[in-house]
């Protein structure tokens, strides 16, 4: 009899946890940068595979829906064509957990990808069901299931913004064109969480330090438009930075493959640096709910080395006709 009661209790708790897991509005996703293996057999690194395994485990557990790939997808010189075997050896055969295979990978290019043919990476969108790279820069609005709240990704190409002087980039979209698009996209956003993702960091304590062009041209746009977070890679470590005068949070998650523990430019960001860790590979996990955006930075030993919780934006959106009528009636009744 006791066994039956215990079994019933166990089943009841199972059902409760299932209902909780599926009904609570949340959208989980991950970000990883600089995960492009090596250009020699086996075309992936020990650390890249280790992180892929940890990310797969967490992704399965947390029901991750999509991944943000932050560039430097193929070391050291990108891919040559859409048939390049590196798509398979450095990407498809490395990220093999069921949820990572089912997730959409929103991709952008890094400086190493631009050393070769980024158009081939864009074309690969039609070949791989999970690789989503429709253009050099693009945006995507995603709903938090079970709510009317949204997360908007604004995926940008920082190599085209900062390094356009390099001869091989001459025929690609210029910085002015992209900046105008970024400004328009951010201004028009009514998302509850607005996330901009680019390869180069705006602010960084790492070896590369702040990216001057982004600091002067992009940072004001992020601040004016109440961007929730700017994500980047390029420096091969984890970082969280936030300047006191602004609401924008900056996260670096560039150690999907290589790692760099030296905060060489720490002095330049001393007052805004909240966290720095480059002791191993890592990735970043996000959990968006209507109330908050939880960010966890996780290392190769599955350890959450840092976490932060951000609030949704408070957007002054334009009122619908129906809402205007209700307000009119309210004020009329008050006079």
Partnered with residue 143 across adjacent β-strands are 150
Contact between 200 and 234 (Cβ < 8 Å):
yes
Task: Please say which residue, 111 or 239, places its beta carbon nearer to Zn ion.
Answer: 111
- The one-character DSSP state at 115 is T
Task: Please say which residue, 56 or 198, places its beta carbon nearer to Zn ion.
Answer: 198
Q: Using CB under 5 A, which residues numbered 91 to 110 contact Zn ion?
A: 110
Residues 6+ apart with CB under 8 A from 320: none
Give the span between the Cα atoms of 32 and 239, in whole angstroms.
Answer: 13
Q: Using CB under 5 A, which residues numbered 53 to 72 contact Fe ion?
A: 72
Q: Which does 157 bind (CB under 5 to 8 A by kind): Zn ion, Fe ion, none?
A: none
- Return the range that interacts with Zn ion (CB under 5 A); candidates 71-79, 213-221, 256-264, 295-303: 71-79
Task: Please say which residue, 236 or 240, places its beta carbon nearer to Fe ion.
Answer: 236
Residue 209, interface with Zn ion (CB under 5 A)?
A: no
And the tokens for 101?
A: 């295979």
**x/- site string to Zn ion, residues 228 to 257, per CB under 5 A?**
------x-----------------------
HSE at residue 257, side-chain half, CA atoms within 13 A, is 25
Q: Which does 111 bind (CB under 5 to 8 A by kind): Fe ion, Zn ion, none?
A: Zn ion
And the tokens for 236?
A: 């091969």
Give the span between the Cα atoms of 161 and 248, in whole angstroms.
Answer: 20
We find the least distance from the C-beta atom of residue 249 to Fe ion, in angstroms, to be: 21
Helix (H, G, I), strand (E, B) or coil at 221: helix
Task: Please say which residue, 62 or 114, places its beta carbon nearer to Fe ion.
Answer: 114
Q: Using CB under 5 A, which residues numbered 72 to 91 contact Zn ion?
A: 72
Task: Please say which residue, 35 or 137, places its beta carbon nearer to Fe ion.
Answer: 35
Task: Please say which residue, 72 or 84, places its beta carbon nearer to Fe ion.
Answer: 72
Residue 235, interface with Fe ion (CB under 5 A)?
A: no
The pair phi, psi for residue 178, each rounded to 5°, is -70, -40
Sheet with 104-107, side-by-side order of all strands: 131-132, 104-107, 66-69, 27-32, 282-288, 293-299, 304-310
Give the span between the Cα atoms of 300 and 303, in whole angstroms.
Answer: 7
Partnered with residue 241 across adjacent β-strands are 250, 273
Task: Please say which residue, 34 or 192, places its beta carbon nearer to Fe ion.
Answer: 34
We find the least distance from the C-beta atom of residue 277 to Fe ion, in angstroms, to be: 17
Q: Using CB under 5 A, which residues numbered 24 to 53 contact Fe ion?
A: 34
The pair phi, psi for residue 328, each rounded to 5°, is -60, -45
Residue 111, interface with Zn ion (CB under 5 A)?
A: yes
We find the least distance from the C-beta atom of residue 178 to Fe ion, in angstroms, to be: 21
Binding interface with Zn ion (CB under 5 A): 72, 110-111, 234
Which residues are at the interface with Fe ion (CB under 5 A)?
A: 34, 72
């Amino acid at each position: 009899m006791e066994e039956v009661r215990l079994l019933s209790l166990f089943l009841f708790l199972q059902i409760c946890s299932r209902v909780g897991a599926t009904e609570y509005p949340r959208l989980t996703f991950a970000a990883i940068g600089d995960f492009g293996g090596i250009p020699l057999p086996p075309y992936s690194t020990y650390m890249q595979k280790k992180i892929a395994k940890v990310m797969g485990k967490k992704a399965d557990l947390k029901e991750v829906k999509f991944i943000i790939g932050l560039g430097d997808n193929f070391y050291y010189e990108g891919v040559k064509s859409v048939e390049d075997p590196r798509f398979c050896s450095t990407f498809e055969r490395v990220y093999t957990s069921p949820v990572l295979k089912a997730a959409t990978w929103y991709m952008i290019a890094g400086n190493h990808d631009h050393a070769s043919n980024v158009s081939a990476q864009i074309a690969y969108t039609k070949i791989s069901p999970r690789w989503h790279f429709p253009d050099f820069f693009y945006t995507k609005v995603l709903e938090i299931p079970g709510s009317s709240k949204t997360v908007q990704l604004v995926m940008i190409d920082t190599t085209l913004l900062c390094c356009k002087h390099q001869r091989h980039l001459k025929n690609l979209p210029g910085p002015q064109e992209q900046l105008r698009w970024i400004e328009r996209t951010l201004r028009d956003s009514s998302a509850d969480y607005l996330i901009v993702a680019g390869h180069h960091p705006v602010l960084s304590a790492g070896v590369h330090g702040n990216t001057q062009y982004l600091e002067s041209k992009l940072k004001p746009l992020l601040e004016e438009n109440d961007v929730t977070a700017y994500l980047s890679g390029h420096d091969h470590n984890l970082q969280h930075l936030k300047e006191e005068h602004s609401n924008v949070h900056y996260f670096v998650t560039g150690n999907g493959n290589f790692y760099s523990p030296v905060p060489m430019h720490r002095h330049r960001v001393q007052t805004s640096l909240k966290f720095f860790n480059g002791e191993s590979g890592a990735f970043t996990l996000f959990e968006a709910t209507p109330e908050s955006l939880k960010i966890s930075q996780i290392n190769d030993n599955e350890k959450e080395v840092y976490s932060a919780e951000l609030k949704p934006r408070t957007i002054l959106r334009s009122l619908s006709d129906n809402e205007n009528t209700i307000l009119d009636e309210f004020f009329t009744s008050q006079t």
